[in-house]
Amino acid sequence: MDWLLVTARFALYADLAALAGLPLFWWSMGGSTRRGAICALAVAGLALSALWLLASAAVMAGTPFLPPDWGVVGILLKETPLGMVLAVRAVALLSILPLLLRQGAGWNAALALPAAIAAATLAWSGHAAASEGLAGSAHRIADALHVLAAAGWFGALLALLHAVLSGRETGRTAHMLERFSLFGTIFVATLILTGAFNAVMIVGIAQLPALLHGLYGWLLLTKLALFAGMLLLAAANRWWLTPMLERNGGVAHLRLSLLAETSLAVLILGLVAALGTLDPLA
């Protein structure tokens, strides 16, 4: 496993997930995202995409990361789908910057589209990118939906965690938690359905038991266990801690729960970054 490539993928996934998830959350809540944070995430997305490209070239060529092998970089950009993926992502990220100058209502909704496009391009850089034909297109669409659902959940966690850590009025935080529950249910259902579909598309139903014979399968099981932990914490937030918060109690418990849930999400992003570099049946 090439740890530089895994690290680059992890940082890029976390950045684009936050970039896509935060505007979506605040748009659904009727609030406004911090423009400085969105600007920083967009610029970081460009830089991390470049880092990911150079790390991919180093792995492909079997050479050190520095100095870059520009010949291999050129091959990746010109002769593989990676060039188009990076171009679409760059346009989406750059289009966010002028939108940050927009005033008035609705700018969160305007930001959500290019941010979602940038995040969705991640579906063209993993195992789904190797699929061909109509099945390949279905695989990439499902993977893009998986990415966007994960981004929506991750962005909500970051926003809610910021709310409880900054000492925001508890009634407002409780309202956000309750209102997010519907979106959270949609995200979870999407993650489960698309995750199952992606697993079948990658190895096939008959080969699913064979996953347990390699590192990929055990990392995938770890990811599923962490996902189950997130579900339990989310359920506790909604059905136990939110009612306590509405009675002006349970702030410390909610803070701890959101910290734990966000930590699990970060660990899952790290596992996803590693899984994308492994042969599922090796």
Instruction: Tokens for 235, please give them.
Output: 């359920």
Last residue of a domain, one of 125, 155, 179: 125
Q: Do 110 and 204 belong to one domain?
A: no
So what's the pLDDT on residue 220?
A: 92
Q: Do 271 and 161 belong to one domain?
A: yes
Torsion region of 148: left, alpha or beta (phi above 0 gives left; psi -120 to 50 gives alpha): alpha
Q: Do 91 and 141 belong to one domain?
A: no
Last residue of a domain, one of 108, 125, 142: 125
So what's the pLDDT on residue 127?
A: 67
Mean pLDDT, the chain, rounded, equals 88
Question: pLDDT digit string (tens) for 258-281?
Answer: 999 999 999 999 999 999 888 887
DSSP letters, 113-147, are HHHHHHHHGGGGSSGGGG--HHHHHHHHHHHHHHH
So what's the pLDDT on residue 174?
A: 76
208 compared with 40, residue with greater pLDDT: 40
Lowest-confidence region among 127-136, 200-209, 236-245: 127-136
Q: Do 239 and 153 belong to one domain?
A: yes
So what's the pLDDT on residue 169?
A: 63
Counted domains in the chain: 2
So what's the pLDDT on residue 7?
A: 95
133 compared with 72, residue with greater pLDDT: 72
Q: Do 252 and 146 belong to one domain?
A: yes
Last residue of a domain, one of 60, 94, 125: 125
Confidence of residue 170 (pLDDT cuts 50, 70, 90): low
Q: Do 100 and 167 belong to one domain?
A: no
So what's the pLDDT on residue 177?
A: 82
The answer to whether 11 touches 278, Cβ cutoff 8 Å, is: no
Torsion region of 80: left, alpha or beta (phi above 0 gives left; psi -120 to 50 gives alpha): beta
Burial class (CB within 10 angstroms; exposed 0-12, middle 13-18, buried 19+) of 270: buried
Question: pLDDT digit string (tens) for 139-168?
Answer: 899 999 999 999 999 999 999 999 888 876
Chain length of the chain: 282
The answer to whether 118 touches 92, Cβ cutoff 8 Å, is: yes
Q: Do 92 and 152 belong to one domain?
A: no
Question: pLDDT digit string (tens) for 77-104?
Answer: 998 889 999 999 999 999 999 988 876 6
Q: Do 109 and 62 belong to one domain?
A: yes
Q: Do 241 and 156 belong to one domain?
A: yes
Question: pLDDT digit string (tens) for 223-245?
Answer: 999 999 999 999 988 888 777 76
Q: Do 79 and 165 belong to one domain?
A: no
- Whether the pLDDT of residue 129 is over 90: the answer is no
So what's the pLDDT on residue 5?
A: 92
Per-residue exposure over 208-247, b if at least 16 CB sit within 10 Å of its own CB, e if not: eeebeeeebbebbeebeebbebbbebbebbbeebbeebbe
Q: Do 102 and 165 belong to one domain?
A: no
Q: Do 120 and 143 belong to one domain?
A: no
Element housing 81 (H / E): none
- Residue 278 is part of which domain span? 133-282
Instruction: Tokens for 27, please give them.
Output: 């748009």
